[in-house]
Structure formats: C-alpha cells, structure tokens
C-alpha cells in the first residue's frame, strides 16, 4: 500500500500548510530532483498571469515606440510579430512547469527558482532576458515588472 501512504502524507502536508495560513500549491516532491512539484492548475494560473503582464508591457512599448509590431495571446502562447524581424514566442510548457521563449537569438527555458523565473542554463531572470530579446529583435523598450513564479 505505498500509494495510500504517500497520499496520506500529501494530505497531512496540505493540512499543515493550511494551518500555517499558506496556500498549498504542491502535490509532493519530485524524487529525482528534490524540487516541489506544482499542480497543473496552479502552474497554468501563474504562467497565465506572467503572460498577461508581458502583454501589458508590450502594449505600453508598442504605444510608445516607433514600431508596427503586434502581439496576440491564445491558449498560453504569446506571439509577438516583429514585422520583418520575425516572431518572438513565449509560452507555458505545462509538462515541465516552465515558460519557454523562442526568438531569433535562440530558445530559452525558464523554471521557477526562488520565486522567480530563471533561465535553466544561464540563471538570467525572465523579465530582463525578455526585455533584451525584444529590444534586439523588435527594437522595443520593454519595461517589465518582476515576473513572480509563485
């Protein structure tokens, strides 16, 4: 009955978090990495909040800039059309609980780390990395807030 024991441990963890006044966003610990694993619905809610903040910053940048760039969001995929400079795509990747960015400069994966989204290779925070990518590819000055991963 190992499944019953692990389910009971999760219930105890959830009850302890609630008693401490914290919301439970984890369903346990990944045995391979030791990291907490967010529920799918919690990850989607957080990622959608991040995508909305990026969209709002893009609206401001486009309004203040001299660019014909345009953006859209659909089902967790934000697409920035940079005229002749191609596209920048930011999307949530649910299976890995990551936010992915695809641009001319390359592909980047951002994972929750210490409450922020950090590049899995360089450790760069998502907001600063995305601002640099958008400036280089679209010529837009993107003023993003800190994009929290919690």
- Condensed to tens digits (0 to 9), the pLDDT of residues 32-72 reads 554 555 799 999 999 999 999 999 999 999 999 888 899 99
Tell me if the pTM is above 0.85. no
Whether 8 has a pLDDT exceeding 50, the answer reads no
Q: Which domains does the chain have, with CATH numbers?
A: 2-36 (no CATH), 39-138 (3.30.920.10)
Contact of 62 with 140, CB cutoff 8 Å: yes
Beta-bridge mates of residue 91? 77, 100
Contact of 143 with 61, CB cutoff 8 Å: yes
SS3 state at 74: strand
The DSSP output letter for 45 is H
């Amino acid at each position: 009955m190992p499944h019953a024991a692990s389910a009971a441990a999760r219930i105890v963890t959830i009850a302890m978090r609630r008693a401490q006044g914290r919301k439970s966003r984890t369903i346990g610990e990944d045995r391979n990495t030791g990291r907490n694993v967010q529920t799918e619905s919690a990850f989607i809610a957080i990622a959608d909040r991040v995508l909305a903040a990026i969209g709002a910053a893009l609206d401001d940048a486009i309004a203040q800039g001299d660019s014909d760039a345009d953006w859209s969001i659909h089902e967790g995929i934000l697409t920035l059309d940079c005229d002749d400079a191609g596209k920048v795509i930011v999307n949530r990747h649910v299976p890995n609980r990551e936010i992915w960015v695809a641009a001319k400069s390359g592909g980047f994966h951002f994972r929750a780390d210490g409450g922020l989204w950090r590049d899995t290779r360089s450790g760069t925070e998502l907001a600063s990395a995305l601002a640099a990518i958008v400036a280089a590819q679209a010529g837009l000055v993107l003023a993003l807030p800190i994009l929290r991963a919690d």
